[in-house]
Amino acid sequence: MAQKPGIPKGTRDFSPTEVAKRNYIFSTIKEVFETYGFQPIETPSFENYSTLMGKYGEEGDRLIFKILNSGDYLKKVDEAILVSKNSVKATSQISEKALRYDLTVPFARYVVQHQNDIVFPFKRYQMQPVWRADRPQKGRFREFYQCDADVVGSKSLWQEVEFVQLYDAVFSKLKLLGTTIKLNNRKILAGIAEIIGEKDKLIDFTVALDKLDKIGAEGVSKEMLLKGISEEAIKKVTPLFNFNGTNQEKLNQLEELLKNSEEGIQGVKDLRFVVNNVETLGLQSANLELDVTLARGLNYYTGAIFEVSAPKNVKMGSIGGGGRYDDLTGIFGLKNISGVGISFGLDRIYLVLEELNLFKEVDLPKPTILFLNLGESEASFCMKALVELRKHQIKSELYPDTAKMKKQMNYANKREIPFVVIVGSKEIELDKYTLKNMHTGDQKLCDLQELMNISI
RNA sequence: GUGAUUGUAGCUCAGCUGGUUAGAGCGCCGGAUUGUGGUUCCGGAGGUCGCCGGUUCGAAACCGGUCUUUCACCCCA
């Protein structure tokens, strides 16, 4: 009985056209990365279990794909753990490898491991798949690509300015106009938490605040109360629920609100540097928007936080994100190295471009000329011509089987091959080729040199 | 992990409140047309109705479980 074919949940096959479109995005991002001075690295698809675990929070640990040990892996597990059916404890005993969850942690590991060979500040980019054991939904897969660019070993805020420009450059180049680059700073969030006297609830506070545009001011207040944040504190942050105006106006408001928090004031200063310089330099198509509710990846970001949303008419989660982490490599033993980076979500960008019909005509690698196969000696004659054509980079192929002409013509038609060469006994005798233009239907007898002059 | 949702031919889908040989369009293969494709006409192959179990005289249809699809929550790109 034949097995029904299928692929795991949240994974996809890509057709030639899809691959071509994806490559178009890849090469665009890559080109801009290199223009900005980044160099590529690659890391393994899977890392040591211990390298990844505990780096993304409890939720992250759950979403990491673990790889089962080889051999009789249950034999070594403590009897007590097996009996207790404690999955978490058992996992650490039956798995010592796990699939990459993002590109940042492996990069941190890379930097520490190769610190002696790296010239700091180190600017690297990396475009590889990552895996998450998430439940798939719109724009969310279990295998997807991230395109990251990070700088380690520099605390300069010019990097933040450059990353905003880089985002703008890529999306402009992709003709994806009207994206919004949201900018925040963890110091602002920490400052606010300090002002309202809920410093220890920073994470709960920001996670709730992050949902403002989704559940509204009322929903946010409710969630904050639920997390044990006092009513009085919530009252103090209400101005943030209606936070608008230009970036400069927002900065002024924040300055006033945070005047009693040293950290908060530093955050305002940092943001002002970035905002002012981006304003001076200008952006091609993106909008830079200060967003105090932005709180993604707070587990490790310490300074700037970025997130890019697609143009407003497209319903899609963020298509990019990033931020600064002052002690990126600390967990692997290299202290005082600051990192800042951004990421492009290739698969989501693809969906957005598709929805907005922004893929230019993709060049599918397909032959310009198909030689029909009308028999063994004819095929042999054609192969000699093919050798020459291919030496001249002319994409060409011979229909592999001797089949009816209708069938071979059909094949050329379906693959949209623009030219067909017909060689029968007549042509062999004349040492010529009948070249047929599949678009116009015209055909003419020509020699090898004329075949080579085909340009399409 | 929680809550919904989907699953019938290669593809897109019909199939009435359970009733006997499960249909269409497109695609595929062959022929009309043995050195000429896209059009047309004719013919053909292809499905244990996602899987397992239950209810029933009888299940593609009803019920339960499981997998899958899509979506929301959580979280994230």
Q: Is the dihedral of CA A289, A292, A296, A302 positive or negative?
A: positive
Give the pLDDT mean for A206-215.
84
Nearest to A111 by CA among A298, A341, A325, A328: A328
Residues near A190 by beta carbon (within 8 Å), at least 6 away in sequence: A199, A202, A261, A263, A264, A267
Distance, angstroms, CA A423 to C1' B10? 34
Asked if A1 CB < 7 A from strand B, the reply is yes
- Left (φ > 0), alpha (ψ -120 to 50) or beta: where does A121 sit? beta
Q: What is the mean pLDDT of chain A?
A: 90
ipTM of the complex: 0.85
Burial string for A422-440 (b: 16+ CB within 10 Å, else e) reads bbeeebbeeebbbbbebee
Question: CA A324, A325, A328, A334 torsion: positive or negative?
Answer: positive
CB of A10 lies under 7 Å from some atom of strand B: yes
Contact assessment for residue A291 and residue A203, using Cβ atoms and an 8 Å cutoff? no
pLDDT exceeds cutoff 70 at A298? no
**What mean pLDDT do residues A13-26 have?**
89
Host H or E run for residue A46: strand A46-48
Q: What is the pLDDT at residue A434?
A: 95
Closest CA to A129 of A149, A104, A147, A111: A147
User: Taking the domains of chain A in order of start, what are their residue ranges?
Assistant: 16-40+111-355, 369-452
With CA of A130 and C1' of each nucleotide, the nearest comes out as B77
Nucleotide B51 C1' to residue A1 CA (A): 14
CA distances from A404 to A271, A336, A373, A401, A411 (A): 70, 72, 9, 9, 11
Whether CB of A410 is under 7 Å from strand B: the answer is: yes
Chain A residues 31 to 70 whose Cβ lies within 7 Å of strand B are 57, 59-60, 63
Statement: the CB of A121 is under 7 Å from strand B: no
- What is the CATH code of the structural domain delimited by A16-40+111-355? 3.30.930.10
Q: Which bases of strand B sit closer than 7 A to a protein CB?
A: 1-3, 28, 30-31, 33-38, 48, 50, 67-77
Q: How far, in Å, is the CA of A5 from the C1' of nucleotide B54?
A: 28
Mean pLDDT of A302-317: 89
Q: What is the mean pLDDT of residues A118-145?
A: 93
Mean pLDDT within A419-435: 94
**Where residue A220 falls among pLDDT bands split at 50, 70, 90?**
confident
Is A406 near strand B, with its CB below 7 A from some atom of it?
Answer: yes
User: CA of A152 vs C1' of B71, distance in Å?
Assistant: 39
Measured in whole angstroms, the distance separating CA A368 from the mean position of its chain's CA atoms is 33
C1' of B15 to CA of A317 (Å):
39
Overall size of chain A counted in residues: 456
Per-residue pLDDT tens digits for A324-372: 988 889 989 999 899 999 999 999 999 999 888 888 777 778 899 999 9
Q: Which two tokens stand for residue A174?
A: 């992709």
CATH 3.40.50.800 for domain A369-452: yes
| pTM over 0.80, yes/no | yes
Q: Alpha-carbon distance A140 to A152, whole Å?
A: 29
Q: What's the pLDDT tens digit per position in A370-417?
A: 999 999 999 999 999 999 999 999 999 999 988 889 999 999 998 989
Could you tell me what percent of chain A has a pLDDT over 70? 98
- pLDDT band of A456, cuts 50, 70, 90: low
Give me the pLDDT at residue A455, please: 64
pLDDT at A212 over 50: yes
Tens of pLDDT, residues A261-288: 999 999 999 999 999 999 999 999 999 9
- Per residue in A59-105, pLDDT tens? 888 899 999 888 888 888 888 887 777 777 888 888 999 999 999 99
- % chain A with pLDDT above 90: 61
| Residue A1: predicted pLDDT | 42
Given this model, what pLDDT does residue A3 score? 64
